[in-house]
Amino acid sequence: MAISVLELAQFSGTQALGGDPKAMIEAAANIDEADATQVTFIGSSKYLGKLTSSRAAAVFVPKDTPANSAPASTALLPVDDPEIAFISCLHRLYPRPRPPATRSEQAFVDSSAQVGSGTTIEPFVHIGARARIGKGCHIAAGCHIGEDVVIGDNCVLHPNVVLYYETVLGDEVIIHAGTVIGADGFGYKLRNGRHVKFPQVGNVVIGSQVEIGANTCIDRAALGATRIGEGTKMDNQVHIAHNVQIGNHVLMCGQVGIGGSTIIGDYAVLASQCGVADHVQVGSQALVYAQAGVTKDVAPKDQMMGYPATNRREALHEMAALRKLAGNQKALDELARLLPALQQLLEKAD
């Protein structure tokens, strides 16, 4: 959706400095590639030097940016937070297409299910008995919504999402393709040489404004509920085991794995491919680095790395010590090589 530089400035609550206010912006790009039909941003004053070669129609910049920092053809849009202003602009330029609120004849909706007004149901969707779906939702092709599932308002389920029975979603939840929520947790007891399954009779409860990446799996609780807090965001291919309790506004990057009954505090960040063992607590605002293996509790605001994961400062100290030891090893090898000659000298001296 094209917008003029003047309209964009008004939309962003600022005034354009320089450039052509009538120039039409059709798309967005990064600062190095944006051309005369595009908008971009510079989030920090340390990158303002890039403005001198800018060809963009408009650039969101920090408020204290000098008006003459860019060529005359480029309008500067000074704002408090250029990145957030740019994000708002992206929503304006690239509005999410909203299909008409229709129910495909190729979908199955149980007669006891409730579907809110304005909800779109695409072909080959299956909605089970007593399911309740809120207003303004979009259920894409191939989704399965089991019995007694509850979905809040304005949720989006991309193709082939599976919600097992009794799963609960809050409002404005986004779930990407191929994700499975509510499958049985991995619970077995070894008796008489056999693995006896512990029935997984709980469910999954997901708070509002959660976004879950593609091919992610969140297991139902053995008893009670596996819970995902409000505003939490998960990347692709994350696995959450049964009875995990994840706080509000947590970030979880790709291929993170969380063991059963673990607790993750609010605003924690778990980087790619890290793993957290079962029955562990990760404190609020903690940071777990990529590929770390957490086997014990993590204090709030702590930073962990390595395997087994330790405090980042301790881990870096150990790494430096290992490098130093490797250097000393060369000296030891050289000394060992000289020992026979030294022994011969000592024998001659005797």
* pTM of the complete model: 0.87
Interval 186-231: pLDDT, tens: 999 999 999 999 999 999 999 999 999 999 999 999 999 999 999 9
Question: What value does the mean pLDDT of the chain take?
Answer: 93
Q: Which residues contact 12 (CB under 8 A, 6 or more apart)?
A: 60, 77, 79, 85, 88, 89
Mean pLDDT of 286-304: 95
Interval 147-185: pLDDT, tens: 999 999 999 999 999 999 999 999 999 999 999 999 999
Instruction: Count CA atoms within 13 Å of residue 283 on its CB side.
Output: 10
In this structure, the answer to whether residues 237 and 147 fall within a common structural domain is yes
In this structure, the answer to whether residues 68 and 182 fall within a common structural domain is no
In this structure, the answer to whether residues 144 and 272 fall within a common structural domain is yes
Interval 33-82: pLDDT, tens: 999 999 999 998 899 999 999 999 999 999 989 988 999 999 999 999 99
Q: What distance in Å separates the CA atoms of residue 242 and residue 239, rounded to the nearest whole number?
A: 10
Mean pLDDT of 280-286: 97
Structure tokens at 225: 């509920």
Checking if the pLDDT of 336 tops 90, the result is: no
Confidence at residue 234, expressed as pLDDT on a 0 to 100 scale: 98
In this structure, the answer to whether residues 260 and 126 fall within a common structural domain is yes
In this structure, the answer to whether residues 126 and 272 fall within a common structural domain is yes
- CATH number of the CATH domain containing 256: 2.160.10.10
| Cα first-last separation, the chain | 95
Could you tell me how many helices (H) and strands (E) the chain has, helices first?
3, 38
The answer to whether position 100 is within a domain reads: no
Tally of CB atoms within 10 A around 114: 13
In this structure, the answer to whether residues 134 and 243 fall within a common structural domain is yes
The answer to whether position 98 is within a domain reads: no
Residue of 158, 176, 242, 249 marked active site:
242
In this structure, the answer to whether residues 147 and 192 fall within a common structural domain is yes
Instruction: Count CA atoms within 13 Å of residue 280 on its CB side.
Output: 18
Order of strands, sheet of 27-28, starting from the edge strand that comes earlier in the sequence: 27-28, 38-41, 58-62, 75-79
Is position 158 annotated as part of the catalytic site?
no
Domain coverage including residue 85: 3-93
- How many domains does one find in the chain? 3
List the beta bridge partners of residue 281: 263
Confidence at residue 110, expressed as pLDDT on a 0 to 100 scale: 97
- Band of pLDDT at residue 350, cut at 50, 70 and 90: low
Mean pLDDT of 243-254: 98
Nearest 5 degrees, angle CA 346-CA 348-CA 350?
Answer: 70
In this structure, the answer to whether residues 145 and 205 fall within a common structural domain is yes
Among the three residues 69, 93, 117, which one is the final residue of a domain in this structure?
Answer: 93
> What is the largest distance, in Å, between two alpha-carbon atoms of the chain?
104
- CATH number of the CATH domain containing 84: 3.40.1390.10
CA distances from 326 to 193, 204, 332, 333 (A): 47, 49, 10, 11
